[in-house]
């Protein structure tokens, strides 16, 4: 029987490449996009075993409507990949409430709403038959390390890390495995989308640092890993008999773990301050 997975945000980047790899491996993919044009483009690229779902993750009525298609076409899901996300940068002191809320709603609250809609197909419905499905949350190293001026994003991904652990512990009784993937910089559109995003803060005390953001983005992009690295880990999460609960995808996992887990906070504060104020080649992680 064909295995089915649902991936949110397949129009580009990590979600788009996960669609490519999982389709190649024979899965039927339910992939969410926001624009009808993306749905059409992907439907012509994947003429079989692909069903587009058109919704914005913030529009729960649209999610419910689209979920009917999934419930009609399959009686179980092998995986739910919560991938759709945005990065809304800015200093916590000055970021608007609307921007802060949007960041949390898309990257965190919507994940719970969408997960709950599909939990019955992953294994919680009483007449569920077969192997329970898996939930894979695309978190970030920002879920493990707090970068200044990227605060709302870090908070959303830290929340997603908690949500991953809580669902895993709650859903144990159903055999549903829940895990997080924590990528470092990956070459996707998410970086370009953030160019010029610090302009609203030009009049603030932080602008000496914030004006370097575009230069940092360009440097990060140059050194970012290809999306295929994340897709391979997604496949591993879906297929490995006994997957880990979290996977970091980073050029230097050891150094990252040292910074995030082992160095004293005050030393890391000093290091972050130094890297932000000297030059523009670097962002702390």
Ligand X SMILES: NC(=O)c1ccc[n+]([C@@H]2O[C@H](COP(=O)([O-])OP(=O)(O)OC[C@H]3O[C@@H](n4cnc5c(N)ncnc54)[C@H](OP(=O)(O)O)[C@@H]3O)[C@@H](O)[C@H]2O)c1
The DSSP result for 8-65, as a single string, is S--SSHHHHHHHHHHHHTT-EEEEEES-HHHHHHHHHH--SSEEEEE--TT-HHHHHH
Stretch that binds ligand X, among 55-63, 70-78, 127-135, 234-242 (CB under 6 A): 55-63
Question: Closer CB to ligand X, residue 66 or residue 77?
Answer: 66
**Are the C-beta atoms of 85 and 106 separated by less than 8 Å?**
yes
Does 140 help bind ligand X (rule: CB under 6 A)?
Answer: yes
Question: Closer CB to ligand X, residue 66 or residue 76?
Answer: 66
Does 131 help bind ligand X (rule: CB under 6 A)?
Answer: no
The DSSP result for 232-266, as a single string, is HHHHHHHH-SS--SEEEE-TTHHHHHIIIIIS-HH
Does 15 help bind ligand X (rule: CB under 6 A)?
Answer: yes
Size of the site for ligand X (CB under 6 A): 26
Instruction: Kindly report the backbone phi and psi dihedral angles of residue 34, in degrees, each rounded to the nearest multiple of 5, phi listed first.
Output: -95, -30
Give me the residue label for tokens 């926001």.
34
* Residues 177-196 close enough to bind ligand X by CB under 6 A: 183, 185-186, 188-190, 193
Does 88 help bind ligand X (rule: CB under 6 A)?
Answer: no
Residue 262 a catalytic site member: no
Catalytic annotation, pick one of 27, 46, 71, 153? 153
Does 7 help bind ligand X (rule: CB under 6 A)?
Answer: no
* Residues 97-116 close enough to bind ligand X by CB under 6 A: 106
* H or E element, residue 84: none
Positive or negative CA dihedral for 186, 188, 189, 190? negative
Q: Which residues are catalytic?
A: 153
Q: Which residues bind ligand X (CB under 6 A)?
A: 9, 11-15, 34-35, 56-58, 83-86, 106, 138, 140, 183, 185-186, 188-190, 193, 224
């Amino acid at each position: 029987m064909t295995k089915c997975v649902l991936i949110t945000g397949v129009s580009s980047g990590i979600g788009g490449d996960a669609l490519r790899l999982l389709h190649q491996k024979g899965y039927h993919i339910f992939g969410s996009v926001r624009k009808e044009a993306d749905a059409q483009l992907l439907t012509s690229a994947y003429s079989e075993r692909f069903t587009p779902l058109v919704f914005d993750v913030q529009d729960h009525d649209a999610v419910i409507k689209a979920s009917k298609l999934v419930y009609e076409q399959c009686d179980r899901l092998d995986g739910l990949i919560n991938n759709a996300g945005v990065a809304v940068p800015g200093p916590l002191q000055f970021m608007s409430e609307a921007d802060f809320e949007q960041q949390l709603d898309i990257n965190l609250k919507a994940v719970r709403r969408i997960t709950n809609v599909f939990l019955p197909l992953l294994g919680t419905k009483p007449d569920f038959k077969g192997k329970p499905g898996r939930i894979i949350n695309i978190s970030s190293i920002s879920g493990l390390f707090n970068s200044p001026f990227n605060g709302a994003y870090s908070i959303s991904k830290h929340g997603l890390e908690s949500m991953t652990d809580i669902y895993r512990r709650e859903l144990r009784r159903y055999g549903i495995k829940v895990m997080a993937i924590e990528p470092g910089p990956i070459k996707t559109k998410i970086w370009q989308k953030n160019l010029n995003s610090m302009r609203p803060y030009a009049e603030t005390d932080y602008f000496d640092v914030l004006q370097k953001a575009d230069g940092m983005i360009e440097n990060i992009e140059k050194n970012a890993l290809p999306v295929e690295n994340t897709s391979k880990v997604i496949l591993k999460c879906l297929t490995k008999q006994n997957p880990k609960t979290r996977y970091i995808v980073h050029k230097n996992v050891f150094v990252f773990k040292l910074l995030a887990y082992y160095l004293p906070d005050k030393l890391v504060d000093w290091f972050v301050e130094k890297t932000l104020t000297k030059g523009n080649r670097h962002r702390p992680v």
